């Protein structure tokens, strides 16, 4: 016990110091986006790191009023909601069938899902783009919606089947004995239990779709069809001399995610690390 109370205090302070430094490093770029978005270009040029001493909504207002940004936000919203709805529904049925139906080959089906989770989407890009050209869907939101939906299915199946395995089989059997068909059991027994898990899954998938760049960039090339993240990269080149304007756009694009995160941080943590924990 030679280290004693003094040593313990020093150790504790060192730990807090480390964590505070890491937190500041994590927050600084986000603070940079927020503070720059509240400056005029002249203020920013004069002092890029300083506090916004005369905060103004000018940059935010002009990026919303004079640019297709609201349209891009709406596109991102439509794409996110549609692809997540489709993939969640498809995966819900499949995971239920695999875990409670235990059809022949259900194990192969589940491990195929795990393997497909890590296929890099860039390797699928060229054939899918050609397919979209053939169907005439390029520059239409449905092109990315159908592709995203398919890409999300393996993770959704993996996530939901892992959750279903924790549902006691007796509950299902009891309902089946009373003569309930599989769909009734799914609707009346399994779905009411799955609220938190389904919400977590929806959050993870939504972030993935909202943040995706490569596919959106390639499939949606005209000004009105872009998603907000792909649109931002256009701003980056177009307004390289007006960085507050670009970062005002960036701020608007990350705002929905940050607000959701503040509201339900545990769902994010649990969902995004689901591929790895037990």
221 within 8 A of 234, measured Cβ to Cβ: no
| Of 58 and 129, CB closest to other proteins | 129
253 within 8 A of 233, measured Cβ to Cβ: no
Which of the stretches 64-72, 90-98, 166-174, 188-196 binds other proteins when contact is defined by CB under 8 A?
90-98
Q: Measured from the CB of residue 104, what is the shortest distance to other proteins in angstroms?
A: 9
Which of the stretches 62-70, 136-144, 145-153, 194-202 binds other proteins when contact is defined by CB under 8 A?
145-153
Q: Is 114 in the site for other proteins (CB under 8 A)?
A: yes
Q: Measured from the CB of residue 42, what is the shortest distance to other proteins in angstroms?
A: 16
Q: Is 123 in the site for other proteins (CB under 8 A)?
A: yes
d(Cα 76, Cα 18) in Å, to the nearest integer? Answer: 38
Q: Is 269 in the site for other proteins (CB under 8 A)?
A: yes
Segment 209-268, which members bind other proteins (CB under 8 A)?
210-211, 213-214, 217-218, 229-230, 232-233, 236, 243, 246-247, 250, 253-254, 257-258, 261, 265, 268
Segment 164-193, which members bind other proteins (CB under 8 A)?
181-182
Distances (CA, A) of 134 to 63, 220, 268: 35, 15, 38
d(Cα 130, Cα 138) in Å, to the nearest integer? Answer: 9
Q: Measured from the CB of residue 150, what is the shortest distance to other proteins in angstroms?
A: 2
Q: Is 32 in the site for other proteins (CB under 8 A)?
A: yes
Most distant CA atoms of the chain, gap in Å:
76
Which of 73, 79, 84, 128 is close enough to bind other proteins by CB under 8 A?
Answer: 128
Which of the stretches 9-17, 51-59, 66-74, 193-201 binds other proteins when contact is defined by CB under 8 A?
9-17
d(Cα 45, Cα 242) in Å, to the nearest integer? Answer: 9
Q: Measured from the CB of residue 192, what is the shortest distance to other proteins in angstroms?
A: 18
Residues 117/120/123/127 CA torsion (nearest 10 deg): 40
208 within 8 A of 55, measured Cβ to Cβ: no
* SS3 state at 78: helix
Q: Measured from the CB of residue 253, what is the shortest distance to other proteins in angstroms?
A: 5
Segment 44-63, which members bind other proteins (CB under 8 A)?
48-49
232 within 8 A of 250, measured Cβ to Cβ: yes
Q: Is 126 in the site for other proteins (CB under 8 A)?
A: yes
228 within 8 A of 253, measured Cβ to Cβ: yes
37 within 8 A of 247, measured Cβ to Cβ: yes
Q: Is 12 in the site for other proteins (CB under 8 A)?
A: yes
Q: Is 116 in the site for other proteins (CB under 8 A)?
A: yes
- Number of shown-chain residues binding other proteins (CB under 8 A): 93
Which pair of structure tokens corresponds to residue 140? 């239409």
């Amino acid at each position: 016990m030679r280290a004693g109370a003094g040593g313990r205090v020093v150790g504790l302070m060192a730990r807090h110091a480390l964590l505070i430094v890491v937190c500041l490093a994590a927050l600084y770029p986000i603070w940079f986006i927020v503070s720059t978005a509240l400056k005029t270009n002249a203020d920013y040029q004069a002092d890029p790191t300083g506090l916004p001493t005369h905060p103004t909504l000018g940059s935010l207002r002009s990026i919303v009023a004079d640019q297709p940004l609201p349209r891009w936000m709406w596109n991102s919203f439509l794409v996110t909601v549609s692809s997540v709805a489709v993939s969640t529904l498809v995966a819900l049925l499949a995971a239920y069938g695999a875990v409670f139906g235990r059809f022949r080959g259900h194990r192969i089906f589940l491990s195929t899902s795990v393997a497909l989770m890590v296929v890099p989407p860039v390797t699928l890009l060229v054939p899918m783009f050609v397919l979209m050209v053939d169907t005439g869907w390029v520059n239409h939101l449905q092109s990315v919606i159908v592709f995203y939906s398919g890409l999300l299915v393996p993770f959704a199946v993996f996530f939901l089947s892992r959750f279903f395995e924790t549902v006691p089989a007796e509950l299902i059997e009891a309902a089946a004995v009373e003569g309930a068909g599989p769909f009734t059991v799914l609707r009346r027994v399994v779905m009411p239990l799955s609220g938190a898990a389904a919400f977590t899954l929806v959050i993870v998938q939504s972030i993935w779709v909202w943040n995706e760049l490569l596919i959106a960039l390639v499939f949606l090339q005209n000004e009105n069809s872009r998603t907000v993240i792909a649109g931002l990269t256009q701003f980056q080149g177009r307004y390289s001399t007006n960085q507050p304007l670009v970062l005002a756009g960036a701020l608007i694009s990350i705002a929905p995610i940050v607000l959701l995160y503040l509201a339900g941080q545990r769902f994010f943590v649990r969902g995004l690390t689901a591929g790895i924990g037990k």
